[in-house]
């Protein structure tokens, strides 16, 4: 509930407005430097520059250690970035940490630490996780960075200038954990099982709320109901999955209340001060959401907003922060006169034992332990293959081992071994003959069907990655072809088609058309699969392509649909034991 502020508060606001009118518009020092640099660059080059693809993770709160959900968001974002690089585009990835707000202030005090050192330690932990996951991030934003502070205060000033901020009394149910106010309709009374206390909690998140009444600044969110609904109608697939889009439209249709966007500094000191009013601290979510444009160079010189990637092509978020990213964020951007992000992927959560992960109950997964145990490529594969968009996924070591043995070791690894370690054929010779036309492909129906599957794969994966924004569907399409190709080669049994086995690697013995077709189509499957798997498993995909002898410059998406006549001689040692195998036995006793 919002009431008008006392006359003293209005007089202070009027005074600031008059000062702003009579003086130069406020611009932070670092913004002046950035703006100048952009203008100099623009003067030096008149050639049009294609906007880089810009992908972001949510920024992660440093009040606790990373969990598997953070790891999942990071992996999805990195796969999208690597995909666009594979497609020959420039792409940028931004991740980072959210370091302001009441939770941080309380967590630092509990740790007997000042907030900044506490945040430094937390940020280093998330940087370490990004490194362990081999994230190709271009930016690691920290909300305590000076450039971010400047961007937030500049955004606040612009909102004030445009008349979207006013002061007033705010009363409501406040969740420290969620850093947000909830209306009466969004909370209910429960009995806390561990303590037996009767407490009010948010229906959405289950976190405890307390009644608070205070004077602060407000953003006119209610004015954006119709503009938001119009945007949703014009962009019906803006949020993935569709169920999340429907939830957001329903929430906005039911009405929006103005948003409290500051907290009294006497209660919350750890944050960015409101410009010209150090009695108030900027609301942590307004602060946090601005990170996406901070690292895209905001504030921009006129017409230069796209040079560093804005608008974002994909925001990766968890489903629990959809309201902030899909209602508050687009409304703030509209108020600032800034283009909205092109898409938001709001993925589901990971559970453990089909129960919500919770640090308080110990029902959590340490991502560092998982990486130590299974390795980065296996974890990236598992998260992408099993992770959910609409429905939560259940994390299990058993499932990881099962996927490793069936999909990677028994599927992709077995297929590679069958071709590269083939009994009685020369892969290089077969590739030469089949690509030159000297050995026409056999016309047996099984070969035709395999080629149809193979030729259709790039379009299916591209559709999943670029139109549907469904990484799991893209990866499963790749792996389905691997499974089908294993069945194909088992049915064709090329090892039985060899007239006279030979050992010499440079043998020029002519294979039969059926043998050559089977081996070539299987090798082509591995080559194309290896190229397409690079965003998902960069190390294992590189090893597969090295084993096939694919040249480095022929590993882009264009080459998935081109004929490559140069591969077939392995660039690595291919042994007969464990060494040289793509996916060897699991090393640990699980």
Q: What is the pLDDT of residue 555?
A: 98
Cβ atoms of 346 and 85 closer than 8 Å? no
SS3 260: strand
For 276, phi then psi, to 5°, come to 65, 15
Give every CB contact of residue 537 below 8 A, 6+ residues apart in sequence. Answer: 377, 380, 381
Omega into 241 within 30° of 0, i.e. cis?
yes
89 — pLDDT class (breaks 50, 70, 90): very high
At residue 508, does pLDDT exceed 80? no
pLDDT tens-digit series, residues 325-341: 999 999 999 999 999 99
490 — pLDDT class (breaks 50, 70, 90): very high
H-helix or E-strand spanning residue 393: strand 393-395
Mean pLDDT, residues 334-355 taken together: 96
Mean pLDDT, residues 41-61 taken together: 75
Cβ atoms of 156 and 282 closer than 8 Å? yes
SS3 510: coil
96 — pLDDT class (breaks 50, 70, 90): very high
pLDDT tens-digit series, residues 222-272: 999 999 999 999 999 999 999 999 999 999 999 999 999 999 999 899 999
Residues of the chain with CATH 3.40.50.620: 50-374
Maximal CA-CA distance, the chain: 99
**Cβ-based burial of 166 (10 A; exposed 0-12, middle 13-18, buried ≥19):** middle
SS3 150: helix
pLDDT tens-digit series, residues 521-578: 999 999 999 999 999 999 999 999 999 999 999 999 999 999 999 999 999 877 554 4
Burial 428-458 (b: 16+ CB within 10 A, else e): bbbbbbbbeeebebbeeebbeebbebbeebb
Percent with pLDDT over 90 in the chain: 71
Query: Which CATH code is given to the segment(s) 50-374?
Result: 3.40.50.620
184 — pLDDT class (breaks 50, 70, 90): confident
Structure tokens at 589: 């006793």
Cα 200 to chain centroid distance, Å, stands at 33
Give every CB contact of residue 369 below 8 A, 6+ residues apart in sequence. Answer: none
CA distance 83 to 91: 9
Q: Which of 379-393, 431-445, 483-497 has the least mean pLDDT?
A: 431-445
Q: What is the pLDDT of residue 356?
A: 81
Structure tokens at 482: 């691997």
CA distance 204 to 202: 5
pLDDT tens-digit series, residues 299-320: 998 888 899 999 999 999 999 9
Ramachandran quadrant class, 397 (left: phi over 0; alpha: psi -120 to 50; beta: rest): alpha
SS3 257: coil
Structure tokens at 410: 């028994």
CATH T-level fold of 397-560: Isoleucyl-tRNA Synthetase; Domain 1 (1.10.730)
Cβ atoms of 482 and 533 closer than 8 Å? no
Mean pLDDT, residues 342-367 taken together: 88
pLDDT tens-digit series, residues 410-446: 999 999 999 998 778 999 999 999 999 887 888 899 9
17 — pLDDT class (breaks 50, 70, 90): very low
Interhelix angle 68-86/471-492, rounded to 10 degrees, is 70
pLDDT tens-digit series, residues 103-123: 999 999 999 999 999 999 999
Average pLDDT, the chain: 87
Residues of the chain with CATH 1.10.730.10: 397-560
At residue 464, does pLDDT exceed 90? yes
Mean pLDDT, residues 453-479 taken together: 98
Q: What is the pLDDT of residue 169?
A: 74
pTM as predicted: 0.86
Structure tokens at 223: 């004015």
CA distance 225 to 223: 6
Q: What is the pLDDT of residue 25?
A: 37
Mean pLDDT, residues 388-405 taken together: 96
């Amino acid at each position: 509930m919002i009431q008008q502020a006392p006359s003293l508060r209005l007089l202070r606001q009027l005074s600031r407005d008059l000062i702003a009118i009579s003086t130069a518009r406020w611009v932070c020092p670092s913004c002046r430097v950035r703006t100048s640099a952009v203008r100099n660059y623009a003067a030096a080059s008149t050639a049009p520059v294609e906007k880089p693809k810009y992908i972001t993770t949510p920024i992660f709160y440093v009040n606790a250690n990373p969990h598997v959900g953070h790891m999942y968001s990071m992996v999805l974002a990195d796969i999208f970035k690597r995909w666009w690089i594979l497609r020959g585009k420039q792409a940028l990835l931004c991740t980072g940490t959210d370091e302001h707000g009441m939770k941080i202030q309380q967590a630092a005090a509990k740790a007997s630490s000042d907030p900044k050192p506490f945040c430094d330690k937390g940020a280093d932990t998330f940087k370490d996780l990004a490194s362990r996951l081999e994230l190709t991030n271009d930016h690691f934003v920290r909300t305590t960075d000076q450039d971010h502070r400047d961007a937030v205060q500049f955004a606040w000033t612009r909102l004030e200038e445009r008349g979207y901020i006013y002061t007033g009394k705010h009363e409501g149910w406040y969740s420290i954990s969620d850093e947000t106010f909830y209306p009466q309709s969004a909370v209910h009374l429960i009995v806390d099982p561990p303590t037996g206390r009767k407490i009010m909690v948010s229906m959405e998140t289950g976190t405890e709320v307390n009644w608070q009444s205070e004077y602060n600044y407000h953003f006119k969110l209610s004015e954006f109901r119709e503009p938001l609904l119009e945007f949703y109608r014009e962009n019906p697939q803006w949020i993935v999955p569709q169920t999340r889009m429907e939830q957001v439209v329903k929430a906005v249709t039911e009405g929006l209340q103005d948003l409290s966007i500051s907290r009294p500094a006497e209660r919350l000191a750890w944050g960015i001060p409101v410009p010209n009013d150090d009695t108030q601290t900027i609301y942590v979510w307004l602060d946090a959401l601005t990170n996406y444009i901070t690292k895209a160079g905001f504030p921009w010189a006129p017409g230069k907003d796209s040079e560093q990637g804005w608008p974002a092509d994909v925001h990766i978020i968890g489903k629990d922060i959809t309201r902030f990213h899909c209602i508050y964020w687009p409304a703030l951007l509209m108020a600032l006169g800034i283009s909205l992000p092109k898409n938001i992927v709001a993925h589901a959560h990971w559970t453990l034992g089909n129960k919500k992960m919770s640090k308080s109950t110990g029902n959590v997964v340490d991502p560092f332990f998982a990486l130590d145990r299974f390795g980065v490529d296996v974890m990236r594969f598992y998260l992408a293959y099993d992770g959910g968009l609409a429905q939560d996924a259940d994390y299990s070591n058993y499932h990881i081992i099962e996927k490793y043995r069936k999909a990677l070791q028994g599927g992709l690894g077995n297929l590679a071994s069958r071709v590269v370690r083939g009994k009685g054929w020369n892969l290089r010779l077969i590739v030469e003959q089949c690509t030159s036309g000297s050995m026409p492909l056999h016309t047996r129906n099984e070969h035709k069907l395999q080629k149809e599957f193979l030729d259709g794969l790039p379009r299916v994966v591209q559709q999943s990655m670029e139109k549907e924004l469904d990484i799991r569907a893209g990866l499963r399409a790749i792996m389905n072809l691997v499974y089908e190709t294993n069945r194909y080669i088992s049915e064709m049994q090329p090892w039985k088609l060899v007239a006279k086995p030979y050992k010499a690697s440079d043998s020029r013995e002519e294979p039969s058309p059926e043998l050559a077709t089977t081996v070539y189509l299987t090798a082509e499957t591995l080559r194309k699969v290896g190229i397409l798997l690079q965003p998902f498993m960069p190390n294992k995909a590189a090893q597969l392509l090295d084993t096939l002898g694919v040249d480095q410059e022929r590993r882009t998406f264009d080459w998935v649909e081109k004929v490559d006549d140069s591969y077939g001689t392995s660039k690595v040692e291919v042994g007969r034991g464990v060494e040289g195998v793509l996916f060897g036995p699991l090393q640990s006793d699980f």
